[in-house]
Structure 1
Amino acid sequence: MSKKTAVSKQNKMRGASASIDSLAPAGENPRRPCPCGSGRRFKACHGAADAAEMIVARPFEGLAAETELIALREFVPSATVPITLLEPVDPVPSITLATVLPAAAAALTRADRSILLGMQVQTHSGDLSRDLAAALEWALAAEPSSVLSVVGRATEGRRLADLIVDEPFDVTVHDSFGWWLEEEPEPGSEVAVSLERANTAIMPTARVAGLPGVYWVDAGEKAHLRWVRPEDEAPLMAALARLAVDEALDLGEGSRYVGSFRAHGRLVPVWDLDRDAHSSEWDGPAREFAVRLDAALAVDEPLTSAQRRARDGILGRQFTLR
């Protein structure tokens, strides 16, 4: 490369850097970690031109209900949970976080001003926590019987943890979407037909053993157990590898560990289950597995060669959900 070409390339790089740096707020160093918590530099995250598309790897990090939020967002079909505002607002009777609302709306208000927030929405930005906060703030200011179809792609503003009390969730799983409606629809009406159509898409689902982030689902040909884990991936993989070598990775007879997927910065192990067994029959095995896993997580010795091979095999059976 000639000296002239090299100088020209350096000048272009400086120009690009200056363009990115200009997006930073006054006094914000664009090379410092982005305040959104993504782990990226500001200039490569919310300081970038396409900031609305940037994905915050763990949008619910730090919340006591992180694993439940991931489950409600990704694979639980019909469920609700009451949430509490840090600063109560009158006259809002109640606020309910839900898996999905009619037409995958972001939020709606009822005639009595109560609020429903949807986790599974049509359009979202790269920060699901900020999207939920924006939808909640809209609902708090909206007229009764209003619907927010989609949330805008704002790159700033409050996040969910800034608005609600940080506490474990008391999730209720439903076998229908009847909770969508304020009153029973007339038989044969358009609303009744639409509700029936939505209900047919629900796969039977149940919480397991009251454990956070653990759900049984009957997927038709098979039943599965999905378990959103709170640990970082490396120690969790090591613990699962130890259990695999000890032949303690399954949930007992009629179960088989099949792999895991990543969702919003956490790992979700999955087991195939005997479909003929009732969901409650897995409560005991799940609790027993939790004890085994905790013991394996507490081990801080290096993995043996057999455990490393097991870990590599487990790592090979993963994919990412976004």
Structure 2
Amino acid sequence: MEKMKLKLLYSDLKPELELIEKELEQAVDSESLLLNDASLHLLQAGGKRIRPVFVLLAGKFGNYDVELLKRVAVPLELIHMASLVHDDVIDDSEIRRGRPTVKSEWNNSVAMYTGDFILARALERITEIESPRIHDILSKTLIEVCRGEIIQIEHKYRLDQSMRDYLRRIKRKTALLISSSCELGALVSGTDEKTAAHLRRFGYFIGMSFQIIDDILDFTASDQELGKPAGSDFIQGNITLPILYARRDPLIYQMLRENLNQDISDEKRLEIVRTIRTSAAVDEAKRMSERYLEKALKELDYLPKGPATKTMRKIAFFIGKRKF
């Protein structure tokens, strides 16, 4: 339901997004039946396609040409998809978006090579863009995404990590790819440098807000709404913002420490979820997300008024207020 509401906000982009969807299908096409099945399994699980949406909307501030815009939208979404497949292996995730993950449906080896294949397809598509600057931004974004994945592994089960550790991690995990989507959509459309910079910052701030809300929902939404078990982040050892705030309570800290990196029962998982959900941590994390949301909306104030700015504002509000 929430995903459908979000799609209504950019329903006027439906023809362009259908074109990008077809391009994604073509991009993951392979002579290997196994690679085909595994890649399409992930692609057909759907997703919000937030990154292609922001590429298209940013393109509205310049010379809008979907044929040019898809050249950055497709590789950016492929990079995101590859990171999801690799994430599921690292986190040993069985379910994503209510469906078995690639690693669950096949195995870790198939999942890793599928992720590598999708990433290689992204790099192949990038070569279609005749702009060293865009190549530079995309390559640096990819490097930072990879660094973020390694940092996430290093930070697993570390209950003593700092707020700075967390924020730097989600910057690389989520915010930079959204930020690059906005910036590249603007640049490929020939917008001026000032507009491109405001769009880049908007993407960064909304990306930070987006990930914090995701981390909150892991404790406040149900298993059915999430399409995976609530509290999965904690079970997988990913220390998120609600946990960082909740750990300040000595009793909660003790509970978290005792159950972290343990094979816990469903009953214990739900007890931990309820404890975090009813603590002050959720409201504190929401306030942090709202601060990033406010910064994102402020960047939009510098952009020309029009349908694209209006839609970006609506999406930003939706991301900051969504329930699951």
| Relative contact order higher in (CA < 8 Å, ≥ 6 apart) | 2
Q: Report which of the two has the higher share of helix.
A: 2
TM range (shorter): under 0.3
Q: Report which of the two has the higher share of strand.
A: 1
Normalising by structure 1, report the TM-score.
0.25
Normalising by structure 2, report the TM-score.
0.25
Larger Rg: 1
